[in-house]
Structure 1
Amino acid sequence: MNKSINAAVYEKHGNPADVLQIESRPWPVPAADEAVVKMRAAPINPADLNQIEGKYPVRPELPATPGFEGAGVVVELGAEVKSLTTGALVILPHNVGTWRDAVAVKAEELVVVPDGIAPVQAAMLKINPLTAWRLLHDYVDLQKGDWLIQNAANSAAGRDVIQIAHELAYKTVNIVRRAELIDELRAEGGDIVLIDGESLREDVKNATRGASIRLGLNSVGGDSALRLANCLVPGGTLVSFGAMSLQPLKIPTGLLIFKDLRFRGIWINKWYDNATPSERMEAFRPLFEMARRGLLKTRVEKAYPLSEVKAAVAHAAQSKRSGKIILEFE
Structure 2
Amino acid sequence: MNVGEMVEVVLPGKVEPEGLQVRQRAVPAAGPGQALVRMEATGVSFAEQQMRRGRYYDQPPFPFVPGYDLVGTVHAVGADVDPALVGTRVAALTKTGGWATHVVLEAADLVEVPDGVGAAQAETAVVNGITAWQMLHRKARVRAGQTVLVHGANGGVGSILVQLALTAGIRVIGTASARHHEALRALGVTPVDYRTENIPARVRELAPGGVDAVFDHVGGRSVTDSWHLLAPGGTLVSYGSAATRDDTGSKQWPVLKLLARVWLWNTLPNGRNAYFFNVWAGRALSKNRFRARLRNDLTQVFAALHRGDITPAIAAELPLSRIAEALRLAESGTVNGKVVLIP
- What TM-score do you get using the length of structure 2 for normalisation? 0.85
Partner of 1:306: 320
Number of aligned pairs? Answer: 325
Distance, in Å, in 1 between the alignment partners of 2:184 and 2:282 is 28
Distance, in Å, in 1 between the alignment partners of 2:193 and 2:242 is 17
Report SS of the residue matched to 1:313. Answer: helix
Partner of 2:250: none
Q: Which shows bigger deviation, 274-283 or 44-53?
A: 274-283
1:269 aligned to 2:272?
A: no
Report SS of the residue matched to 2:294. Answer: helix
Partner of 2:156: 156
**2:147 aligned partner, one-letter code:** W
Partner of 2:293: 279
CA contact 2:211–2:231 (8 Å) conserved in 1: yes
Report SS of the residue matched to 2:93. Answer: coil
Partner of 1:106: 106
Partner of 1:326: 340
Q: Give 1:159 deviation, angstroms.
A: 0.7
Deviation string for 1:158-180 (max 9, x for gaps)? 1111110011111111122x222
- 5 Å-filtered alignment, 1:39-50, equals 39-50=39-50
Partner of 1:165: 165
**1:204 aligned partner, one-letter code:** V
1:181 aligned to 2:192?
A: no
CA separation of 1:237 and 1:95: change in aligned 2, threshold 3 A = closer
- 5 Å-filtered alignment, 1:1-330, equals 2-11=3-12, 13-82=13-82, 84-95=84-95, 97-176=97-176, 178-190=177-189, 192-196=190-194, 199-208=198-207, 210=208, 212-246=210-244, 259=270, 261-270=272-281, 275-329=289-343
Report SS of the residue matched to 1:204. Answer: helix
Deviation string for 1:212-250 (max 9, x for gaps)? 522111111233333322321234221110222128769
Distance, in Å, in 2 between the alignment partners of 1:222 and 1:152 is 15
Q: Give 1:254 deviation, angstroms.
A: 10
Distance, in Å, in 1 between the alignment partners of 2:201 and 2:55 is 37
CA contact 1:76–1:86 (8 Å) conserved in 2: yes
Over the aligned positions, Cα root-mean-square deviation in angstroms equals 2.7
**2:202 aligned partner, one-letter code:** D
Report sequence identity in percent: 24
Distance, in Å, in 2 between the alignment partners of 1:157 and 1:40 is 21
Q: Give 1:6 deviation, angstroms.
A: 1.0
CA separation of 1:257 and 1:109: change in aligned 2, threshold 3 A = closer
CA contact 1:43–1:327 (8 Å) conserved in 2: yes
CA separation of 1:10 and 1:140: change in aligned 2, threshold 3 A = closer
- What TM-score do you get using the length of structure 1 for normalisation? 0.88
CA separation of 1:286 and 1:92: change in aligned 2, threshold 3 A = closer
Q: Give 1:262 deviation, angstroms.
A: 3.0
CA contact 2:233–2:272 (8 Å) conserved in 1: yes
Distance, in Å, in 2 between the alignment partners of 1:157 and 1:95 is 16
Deviation string for 1:264-302 (max 9, x for gaps)? 210113356654332222212221111111221331111
Deviation string for 1:30-78 (max 9, x for gaps)? 1132221110010101101222322112232443111011110111122
CA contact 1:272–1:280 (8 Å) conserved in 2: no
Deviation string for 1:18-40 (max 9, x for gaps)? 43111111012111322211100
Distance, in Å, in 2 between the alignment partners of 1:20 and 1:193 is 37
Partner of 2:248: none
Report SS of the residue matched to 2:281. Answer: helix
